[in-house]
Each structure stands twice: as structure tokens, then as C-alpha cells.
Amino acid sequence: MALGFDVITIFPQIIHAYLKLSILKKATEGNLIDVKVYNLRDYTTDKHRMVDDYPYGGGPGMVMKVEPFYNAYNSLVSDGVDRFVVLLTPQGKTFNQEMALEFRERNERIVLLCGRYEGIDERVKELIVDEEVSIGDYVLTGGELPALVIIDTVSRLMPDVLGDNESSVDETFSMGLLEYPQYTRPPEFMGLKVPDVLLSGNHNLIRQWRMKEAVRRTLKRRPDLLYKKTNN
């Protein structure tokens, strides 16, 4: 079954623009992934198509209303297909490669609710959200980039989305290590030489060198990944 996403946003063009220009274009054309985008404004019922309103209790900024999200969700699920609903918010659980693998294994379409403005009416979470997800400890203006980050990360784990099937296996994070240094031609540039071992044709030595460099680099830059590896 193809991996399916339903994105609900007030900026559908942001999602379309990336999907049609990236490596994911082929994946959608080949029906390896299926991304549908819904305009939140289409699920408003007032004549001004309002998606946000002033916060009860006062304070700065606007709050996204509950009804449009609720209506959009109900419209989606009326087809009877199982869905897992993710709300993109900096307050969510941090997305990582492990969560991407979990999403890939779900036999449900994944709904990505993109928030904007200062926040979302808490009742959206109570009524329709299964998991709140963040992509890191910084604040964006909206959930559209996070939605694309998730679609991109999960999609490239699907068979045949990447040209070379091995390339998502032997890479950064899949082994819990950063990737080893890579080189391509020329063998020397501005006095900088490609390590001899890579030109040696000795595949055992090359494998050893790469493993050593991956560990060295991880220890230097991301020791937390090594500790995580031994702790589980």
C-alpha cells in the first residue's frame, strides 16, 4: 500500500511547491506515496472564512479556531479509511529517525495539521489529535515546513523512492552513527588528496576505514548518539 498523507493547511501552495520540485515528484507520480492537501479555509462556515480569532482571557496574537480543523477532519474520515492525526507544534514530541520509521510502519494515512499564528484552540487536540510533533527546539511561523520535513523523511524510507535502494540503509542515523567522509573525482584538488585507502580497491580496508571514521566523527560531533546506542 502506498504511503498516504493528508495535509491540512492555510497555505496549500507551500506543500505543492516542494513536492513538485523535489525527488518526491517521481514518488507521487509513481504512486509510491500519495499526498493530498486540503485548504483549511474550505472548512469554515462563516462568510469571512475565518480560521483564527482573539484569545479568550486576552493576550497578544490570535488563536486558530477549532471548527475548521474539526470539519476538515470529519470530511476526511467520512471515506472510512483509518488515519493517524499529527498536530505540528513546537510543544510536541521531537521528530527523529525513529519516529519516521514508526510512521512508515503505520497502516493508516497520516494527517498533518499545520498550525499558524500563536496557537491552536486546545479542543482541537482533545477532539482529533493523536500525537503532537515538533521538529526541533526553535520556533517557526507555521507547521508547513515541519509537515514537509516529515513527508520527506518518511517517504525516502519507502522502497523504490530513492533511486538506489541501499542509500537509506547505510547512512547517517540509521546505524546511530554519523556518516563517514565521502569523496569523488578528482583525486587531488587544491592540494587536498583523497585518502589513499579509498583508491586502493581493497574493500575490506575501505569498510574498516569508513567505520572508524564514522565512529570518530560521531564521538567528536555527537557523542550523545553513541551513549544512546549503548543504552538501548
Task: Identify which range of 135-143, 157-165, 181-189, 210-218 contacts ligand 6GU by CB under 6 A.
Answer: 135-143
154 lies in the binding site for ligand 6GU (CB under 6 A): no
Cell of residue 23, nine digits: 525527488
Nearest CA to 1 among 92, 101, 106? Answer: 106
Q: What is the closest distance, in whole angstroms, from the C-beta atom of residue 183 to ligand 6GU in the complex?
A: 34
Radius of gyration of the chain (CA): 22
Closest to ligand 6GU by CB, 90 or 176 = 90
Q: Which of 33, 38, 146, 209 binds ligand 6GU (CB under 6 A)?
A: 146
Nearest CA to 173 among 100, 105, 93, 86? Answer: 100
**CB distance 170 to 130 below 8 Å:** no
Q: What is the closest distance, in whole angstroms, from the C-beta atom of residue 46 to ligand 6GU in the complex?
A: 25
> According to DSSP H, which parts of the chain are helical?
12-21, 24-29, 66-77, 97-105, 122-128, 144-155, 196-199, 203-221, 223-230
Cis peptide before 186 (omega within 30 of 0): yes
Closest to ligand 6GU by CB, 134 or 218 = 134
85 lies in the binding site for ligand 6GU (CB under 6 A): no
CA distance 38 to 15: 10
Q: What is the closest distance, in whole angstroms, from the C-beta atom of residue 191 to ligand 6GU in the complex?
A: 41
Closest to ligand 6GU by CB, 10 or 177 = 10
Question: How many amino acids of this chain bind ligand 6GU (CB under 6 A)?
Answer: 12
88 lies in the binding site for ligand 6GU (CB under 6 A): yes
Task: Identify which range of 5-13, 26-34, 137-145, 164-172 contacts ligand 6GU by CB under 6 A.
Answer: 137-145
**CB distance 129 to 83 below 8 Å:** no
Which residues lie closer than 8 Å to 1 by C-beta, 6 or more apart?
A: 107
135 lies in the binding site for ligand 6GU (CB under 6 A): yes
86 lies in the binding site for ligand 6GU (CB under 6 A): no
Q: What is the closest distance, in whole angstroms, from the C-beta atom of residue 69 to ligand 6GU in the complex?
A: 15
Closest to ligand 6GU by CB, 136 or 195 = 136
Cell 487536540, located at residue = 125
Q: Which residues bind ligand 6GU (CB under 6 A)?
A: 88-90, 134-136, 138-140, 142-143, 146
